[in-house]
Amino acid sequence: MKNPPKITPRLEPARATSSALSTTCPAAKSSEVVIGVPVADLGPDVYCMRRVDIDVSLRQAKAMRLAFDGLQLAGETVQMPGISSPRPVTRPTDAIRYMLDQLADEYGLPA
């Protein structure tokens, strides 16, 4: 099991440009937050669910909106299943995809 590095939460200015602003994004500025997530090793035959439908609390919905607005301000993109090139973040669920991609990149998971 790869031990995750000790991560200290921090706030940094995000890379935002006026062209990254969207009418769906009411935020005027953005910050970056680093979080730690406990992870385990994947066995060779472990089943990995590819679709997840969940209801979230209002608190979780607001957190997702924070991430969504920040990603839009920063002009970030996400990789979609079955599409060869990344596309701009356009939906709150893209924030979840983005975070999962960052985790996969950190642990060297293949595309």
Strand, coil or helix: 34: coil
Q: Where are the domains of the chain?
A: 11-34+44-106
pLDDT of residue 19: 38
| Whether residue 14 has pLDDT greater than 50 | no
Q: Which of 109, 100, 107, 103 is nearest to 2 (CA)?
A: 107
Indicate whether this model's pTM tops 0.75.
no
Higher pLDDT, 12 or 57: 57
Q: Which of 13, 5, 9 is nearest to 34 (CA)?
A: 9
Q: Answer whether 98's CB lies under 8 Å from 69's CB.
A: no
First to last CA, the chain: 20
pLDDT of residue 92: 93
Q: Which of 60, 53, 100, 67 is nearest to 81 (CA)?
A: 100
Give the residues across from 31 on adjacent strands. Answer: 13
Average pLDDT estimate for 22-33: 63
